[in-house]
Amino acid sequence: MNDGATTEKSTGEKSTGEKTTGEKSSGISASAADRSLAANRACYDALVDVAAGHLLAADPENVLLAATIAANFAWNAAIGILNDPRLESMITDSVRAPGTAAPQVDRSRSNGRVLHVLTHCGDIGGHSRLAWRWIQRDTRRADVALTHQTSAVPAEMLSAVARSGGGVHDLTAAYGSLLEQAYELRRLMERADIVVMHTHPFDAVAIAAANLPGVRPPIIFENHADHTYWLGLSMADVVTDNRPIGGRLCAEVRGIPAQRLSLLPLSVDAQPASAGSSRGELRARLGIPADSVIAVCVAGAGKLRPVFGTGFAEIAAELLERVPALTLLLVGPPAQGEWRDLMDRFPNRFFALGLLSDAASLYPVCDIYLDAYPISSGTALLEAAVAGLPTLSLQEPEKYSDVWTAESPGLTDPLHRAGSRGEYLERIAALAASAKLRRQHGEAARRTVLAAHTGSGWSQRLEAVYAQARRVPSADLAAVSQVEPTPAQAQYNRELLRFMRGSDEPTPFERINLPLAQVVGTRLHAELFAATIGARRSRSPLTLRVGPQWPQHRAWMLRALRLCSTNPGIALSLPVLEGAEDEALLAIVLELLGELGLDGDSCGNVSIEADELVDALALRLQFTANGLDFFAALSNQLLRRQPVGDPAPTLLADSVAVA
């Protein structure tokens, strides 16, 4: 696929309204996907409306928090758009007084200093490696700012920054307020010639910092999540992609002007990782036959699901059947479910090894690298090529968009790709049968990847990106063109939904936002969740379904019963306990009510029910004070939003923390 391919061609849609092979093979209709996309979009819009309300109230902290939650939902849910200038405008307006001019860009700075901003830097994941390798290969001093760090910073990042003469600033540890983080991040930006944003798609702190009044350096937005929704249009003077398809999506779907787009291939280490063990040790430890050819694949489980009808498990099974000499190591998914089944079906020939932080140490003792399917895994593919392994990707453009393929510079030659399942199986069989062929293909992959992703070639591209950032006008949301939706884009949105969810079901807000609940706080979280409930359904009872351990949580139950008695919009549903008599359970409830001075007539809506609730939302609360605080706040929010006489939504309560 060349760089000039249109979106219609790149998404594989043959004609307007026609289903692609991917839709047919997955057994999921376009109409079902569109309904879920619409439901997700309604939830997203409700979250954005909450941010808008706090903007009107001149509450910038809650604008940033609500925007973070809304963007995190869109990143994970697939909502039919890849950017939202409206939400980004709310963020920028919240940190600038009305009439205040946009920040000015100082392109003349020459301190030899670059600030890299990451939301989170982890041991596992390509974007963190990209950042520290960028720092290692740049001659300038590098500082790093982290806006949502939840674990220890990897040693590789600390070492790269220290060697450059810079420092790492964990804003999460220093500031509990997102607004304070934004001000501190802007202060750090003042010292830099250039800022590189490696941020997650939901990072409102970076948007706010970049748009505070005053003078700032040029900003490069490193587009590591090129396939999905992200915040960044309002701060990206230049968007740099690591593969051509990212740039095409930016131009054709995001509406970013061509002068702001650049290509910088992923930086990889020129020297392959050292082997964690010898070939003999690996074979002995796992029980691999001595004459077996070892293939390896590294990918998260989400990239291997049958998103478009066929998943990697089916491909792997057919491959192992067709090529008896092959053993396959899968790094990423644990040995459970379909992967456990494959291990049982192909003993000593298939191994699901789970997550490994040093997966590249396997490459020197393997013979072939198989790219993830149906969703490519770019960084691992490049690292395997550097190790000299022949790499092969199965890419079926008639089934899905080429967005899901690696399209990495250096590996676009047909030598490294198979266009059909039959060709894929034949090519692997040939590689398994010939050490000479493996060596030839591996040397070719290593040579082309090193040329594009390391050394002077990569450094020259980096300098060109820096020069471009100093040359172009500053980021301006008004300059982002409104792109008219096309049938091909609609098809891509359906694919994105299937990738995100593994199905066409609407995305539950509460599951996605659990990791950010503590950042948001109980009251705002309840407001946001209530907004999504209102967007999804208007008539359903708000019932607190308690977990089976309820008799053991006496103080918690007393508060829940008191809350129920004073709020007619709440119902408390207690499950029947296995082996317990109904009369005994009723006696426990009446005793608790008696402590509160209540009885069966004054307690409100309390019931003991053997059956699971029908049509219940999948929210679960812990038996904690925070859990009941959240429930109380949520019930109040829903009561404010509902017309008189409407019942409220159902909640389940037992074991998963949400507040």
pLDDT at 371 over 60: yes
430 vs 438: CA distance, rounded Å: 9
The answer to whether 253 and 226 have CB atoms below 8 angstroms apart is no
Lowest mean pLDDT among 53-57, 276-280, 460-464: 276-280
Can you give the residue range of the structural domain that contains 598?
Answer: 537-652
- Range scoring the smallest mean pLDDT among 31-35, 185-189, 423-427: 31-35
Task: Tell me, yes or no, whether 118 lies in a domain.
Answer: yes
Element (H, E) at 458: helix 455-471
- For residue range 283-299, list pLDDT tens digits in order: 888 899 889 999 999 99
**What pLDDT digit, counting tens, does each position of 118-137 carry?**
999 998 777 899 999 999 99
The pLDDT of residue 24: 38
Provide the pLDDT for residue 500: 81
Residue 418's nearest CA partner among 322, 315, 523, 328 is 315
Give residue 28's pLDDT band: very low, low, confident or very high (50, 70, 90).
Answer: low
Is 138 in the same domain as 239? Answer: yes
Spell out a b/e string for 184-202, using b for 16 or more CB atoms within 10 Å of the CB, else e.
bbbebbeebbbbbbbbbbb
Rounded distance between C-alpha atoms, residue 543 and residue 617, angstroms: 10
pLDDT tier at 621, thresholds 50, 70, 90: low
| Highest mean pLDDT, choosing among 25-29, 98-102, 467-471 | 467-471
- 392 in any annotated domain: yes
Task: Please tell me whether residues 68 and 149 are part of one structural domain.
Answer: yes
Work out whether the CA dihedral 234, 236, 242, 244 comes out positive or negative: positive
**Residue 510: predicted pLDDT:** 64
Residue 527 lies in a domain: no
Q: Is the pLDDT of residue 539 over 80?
A: no
pLDDT band at 95 (very low <50, low <70, confident <90, very high): very high
CB atoms within 10 A of CB 283: 19
- Reported as half-sphere exposure (CB side, CA atoms, 13 A), residue 529 has a value of 32
Residue of 352 and 11 predicted with greater confidence: 352
- Residue-level pLDDT at 638: 77
Cα gap 201→230, rounded to integer Å: 4
Supply the pLDDT for residue 117.
98
Looking at the chain, the whole-number percentage of residues with pLDDT higher than 70 is: 88
Question: Are 62 and 177 members of one domain?
Answer: yes
Query: For 438-494, what is each residue's pLDDT tens digit?
Result: 999 999 999 999 999 999 999 999 999 999 999 999 998 988 877 888 888 898 999
Give the full edge-to-edge strand order of the sheet including 391-394.
350-354, 326-331, 293-298, 368-370, 391-394, 417-418
Strands 326-331 and 350-354: parallel
pLDDT in tens, 300-334: 898 999 888 899 999 999 999 999 999 999 999 99
Residues sharing a CB contact under 8 Å with residue 125, sequence separation 6 or more, in sequence order: none
Which of 134-138, 196-200, 603-607 shows the lowest per-residue confidence on average (mean pLDDT)? 603-607
Among 190-199, 229-238, 260-269, 353-362, whose mean pLDDT is lowest? 353-362
**Proportion of the chain above pLDDT 90, given as a percent:** 59
Q: Which of 340-344, 531-535, 536-540, 597-601 has the highest mean pLDDT?
A: 340-344
544 vs 518 pLDDT, higher one = 544
Nearest 5°: CA angle at 240, between 405 and 392? Answer: 20
The answer, yes or no, to whether residue 370 has pLDDT greater than 50, is: yes
Q: What is the mean pLDDT of the chain?
A: 86
Higher pLDDT, 240 or 516: 240
Kindly report the number of other CB atoms within 10 A of residue 546's CB atom. Answer: 21
Of 446, 471, 489, which residue is a domain's last? Answer: 446
One domain for residues 11 and 88 = yes
Q: Is residue 469 part of a domain?
A: yes
Per-residue pLDDT at 352 exceeds 50: yes
Per the domain annotation, does 525 fall within a domain?
no
Of 428, 446, 464, which residue is a domain's last? 446
Residues 470 and 338 in one domain: no
Strand, coil or helix: what is 611? Answer: coil
Contact 385, 269 (CB under 8 A): no
Q: What is the pLDDT of residue 387?
A: 94
The domain boundary residue, chosen from 403, 423, 446: 446
Q: Which amino acid, residue 41?
A: R
Strand partners, 354: 331
Q: What is the pLDDT of residue 502?
A: 63
Mean of pLDDT values over 418-437? 96
What is the spatial distance between Cα 65 and Cα 91, in angstroms, rounded to a whole number?
A: 10
Count of residues for the chain? 659
The one-letter code for the residue type at 561 is L
Q: Are residues 160 and 250 in the same domain?
A: yes
Look at residue 17 and tell me whether its pLDDT is greater than 60.
no
For range 542-556, the mean pLDDT: 85
HEC profile for 372-419?
A: CCCCCCHHHHHHHHHCCCCEEEECCCCCCCHHHCCCCCCCCCHHHEEC
Using the predicted structure, report yes or no on whether residue 92 has a pLDDT greater than 70. Answer: yes
Q: How confident is the model at residue 336 (pLDDT cuts 50, 70, 90)?
A: very high
72: left (phi over 0), alpha (psi -120 to 50) or beta: alpha
Within a domain: residue 531? no
DSSP bridge partners of 213: none
Residues near 167 by Cβ (< 8 Å), separated by ≥ 6? 143, 144, 161
Give SS3 for 235.
Answer: coil
Question: How many domains does the chain fold into?
Answer: 3
Q: What angle do CA 197, 199, 203 make, to 5 degrees?
A: 120
Q: Is the pLDDT of residue 653 over 60?
A: no
What does the pLDDT read at residue 512? 67
- DSSP labels for 111-180? SSEEEEEES---SSSHHHHHHHHHHHH-SSEEEEEESS--SPPPHHHHHHHHHHT--EEEHHHH-S-HHH
Side-chain-facing half-sphere of 85: CA atoms under 13 Å: 12
Asked whether residue 12 carries a pLDDT value surpassing 50, the answer given is no
Residue 434 lies in a domain: yes
Q: Are residues 442 and 460 in the same domain?
A: no
The owner of tokens 């796992």 is: 286
Does 87 lie in the same domain as 175?
yes
Q: Mean of the pLDDT values across residues 604-633? A: 72
Residue 414, pLDDT > 80, answer yes
Residue 424 lies in a domain: yes
Confidence at residue 619, expressed as pLDDT on a 0 to 100 scale: 53
Whichever domain contains 370, its CATH number is 3.40.50.2000
Asked if 382 contacts 449 with a C-beta cutoff of 8 angstroms, the reply is yes
Please state, in angstroms and rounded to a whole number, the distance separating the CA atoms of residues 518 and 68.
13
Same domain assignment for residues 262 and 292: no
Is 247 found in the same domain as 153?
Answer: yes
368-393 core/surface letters (b: 16 or more CB in 10 A; e: else): bbbbbbbbbbbbbbbbbbbbbbbbbb
Q: What is the edge-to-edge ordering of all strands in the sheet holding 168-170?
A: 168-170, 141-146, 113-118, 194-197, 219-222, 238-241, 261-263
What is the tens place of the pLDDT at every residue in 131-163? 999 999 999 999 999 999 999 999 999 999 999
pTM summary value: 0.84
Same domain, 252 and 286: no
Calculate helix-pair angle for 455-471, 126-137, nearest 10 degrees.
90
The identity of residue 135, as a single letter, is I
Q: Do 144 and 52 share a domain, yes or no?
A: yes
